[in-house]
Structure 1
Amino acid sequence: MDARTGCSASLQALRHRGFWLVVAVCVVGVGGVFAVYTYVVSTLTVVAGVPRAWVPAVLALFGVGMTAGAVLGGRLADRSVRWSIALGMVGLAAVMVALTVLVRHPASAAVGVLLLGAASMAPMPSIQARLLDVAPAAPTLAAAMLHSATNTANAVGAWAGGLVLSAGAGYAAIGWVGAAMAVAGLLLSLCMFGHDGSRRNT
């Protein structure tokens, strides 16, 4: 593939509505994770009462959860990419709602951070596979767009979490915003399914 052909394929992918729906699912749904994780240290120390000396160990649990979530997400993607994304959003919403309660105690907060790490990665293999599915002629663009989408999710999520704190709701309440963003990601994924169905019927 020469440069002109590759550029043309990329431009075609950018015109694909389904491509942008997947990007939106990542930005909005995964953004909920960053709404919570951006302020997780303050949540652990202020709300849960975790000693600062133990914070690195609790954050390490987030990494353990991410590893487990990536493995699980890969297996789920092998079964169904579309439904793995939807179920991943449901899992994210459930974990973040649970976090509003779990962060009240040091031990349960550590469990919540572990679960958040797992839930954050579970839909990612399917999101990446989906991007490649809707842009088969532009795999480099699809891979780059996933990184751009997650970086945008980071910014959007941190901003949303900051709004909660500015309103005076407190760190524990951020989980509700994260859950709402995951539900929005679920709705977008259902729109993605509907888009697939309409394309097949045309």
Structure 2
Amino acid sequence: MPLAVYILGLSVFALGTSEFMLSGLLPPIAEDMHVSIPRAGLLISAFAIGMVIGAPLLAVATLRLPRKITLTALITVFGLGQVVGALAPSYGVLFASRVVSALACAGFWAVGAAVAIATVPVGARARAMAVMIGGLSIANVLGVPAGAFLGEHLGWRSAFWAVGAASAVALAGVLTLIPRIPLPDEKPRLRRELTIYRDRQVWLAVVITALAAGGVFCAFSYLAPLLTDVAGLPAGWVPTVLALFGIGALVGTVIGGRVADAHLFGVLLSGITASTLFLAALAVFSSSPVAVVVLSFLLGVSAFYTAPALNARMFNVAGAAPTLAGATTTAAFNLGNTGGPWLGGAVIDADFGFQSTAWAGAAMTLLALAAVGLALRLHQRASASASPSPSRVITGTSKTAGPAPQDRTTRV
């Protein structure tokens, strides 16, 4: 595997750490900025909003730009966003820095994936993408807990400085180790790719992804105050529990990735059902420290167990438009990362308590299950209509209307 791919994985580690580390920093940020915890939680939504806007926009806007220059510019802007966040004198400045950082993050994801694929043979593309996604998983295992640890002992701003330093290392790697990628000879045909949005299955895939991700992050975004204020754990436990969630995410990604191709809808149904049950259990047993710790790990497993299937489903229904398929999936995930924390903050503001975020998240995943059921029904109808009519095949003789089409349906 080319060293350049690992540099991209390191960059994704910095990006992912910044995206998710606020889950363990909300209490000190709220106190320092003199805002409520729900309002501090909107900083998570701010990053997600930037990803939603930036993913499709920058995926299209940078297609004809030199890849290495684009990556350099984006990781530089991202790193500067972390510095501004660390120095932010007010909540408004911090909020703006999160949006700008997210735009750069979304663009880097889009361009970085193209570079990773371009630097390896066709048969190694999946491995190259696994390295990039692995950077995000490691961010959940190491980066997010490390950010919480720094926030606890050196103040929340130290976590931003640490991500800024990681971004500087990534920038050096991009400048020295990313090769020049030739520009494509043919301009992208965006009009053709935009036709995917006429397909209701594409919109169902967006809804499923947004609700499934939003349900989990509705609770995960407020996990720190749930652990300390409801379960009664010391603040020092927060990095450990966040690490357990990240380990669960890594385990879920490995398992889901191995079975999603053969049983895509089965993974979606079982994984989202498990997330719903774990969220409900988290709400019921929120006062039990042991239960909250165990359920945090299990929630990481179930949430990321479905992630490969959610990505694959979008490419299945929008495969004719690869430029926008990945960007649309990224945007859908971050729609959930926006709506989930917002809903969690709303129920907290309504004085339902921190445990209510888990109930709200379970409601979102239930809606996701309903959407999966509808998508499966439409998929089965389409598969049935594509199958040959029995009247056209004469059993027991060689007289047929033609060879039966290959079965390409997804097994449940």
Fold shared per TM-score above 0.5: yes
Aligned to 1:3: 187
Q: CA deviation digits over 1:102-152, x for unaligned, max 9? A: 321222211111111111111110011111111112123111111111111
Aligned partner (choices 100, 103, 106) of residue 289 of structure 2: 106
Aligned partner (choices 181, 195, 199) of residue 378 of structure 2: 195
Aligned partner (choices 344, 364, 367) of residue 184 of structure 1: 367
1:199 offset after TM fit, Å?
Answer: 2.8
Paired residue type of 2:307: M
Paired residue type of 1:125: P
Aligned partner (choices 261, 266, 274) of residue 83 of structure 1: 266
Alignment of 1:74-153 (within 5 A): 74-153=257-336
Q: CA deviation digits over 1:18-72, x for unaligned, max 9? A: 1110010011122101110111100000001111112111111110010011111
Is 1:71 the equivalent of 2:254? yes
Question: CA 1:53/1:195 → structure 2, altered by over 3 Å: closer, same or farther?
Answer: same
Aligned to 1:40: 223
1:153 offset after TM fit, Å?
Answer: 0.4
Secondary structure of the corresponding residue to residue 218 of structure 2: helix
Unmatched tracts of structure 1, length 5 or more: none
What TM-score, normalized by structure 2, do the two folds share? Answer: 0.47
What TM-score, normalized by structure 1, do the two folds share? Answer: 0.93
Superposed CA RMSD in Å reads 1.6
Aligned to 1:51: 234
Given that 1:102 and 1:112 are in contact with CA atoms closer than 8 Å, whether structure 2 keeps it comes out as no
Unmatched tracts of structure 2, length 5 or more: 1-184, 387-412
Structure of greater relative contact order (alpha carbons < 8 Å, 6+ residues apart):
1
Aligned to 1:31: 214
Find the aligned partners of 1:103 and 1:71 in 2 and give their Cα distance.
Answer: 28
Query: Identity of aligned pairs, percent?
Result: 35
Aligned partner (choices 15, 37, 42) of residue 198 of structure 2: 15
Larger Rg: 2
Paired residue type of 1:177: A
Paired residue type of 2:306: P
Find the aligned partners of 1:156 and 1:103 in 2 and give their Cα distance.
Answer: 22
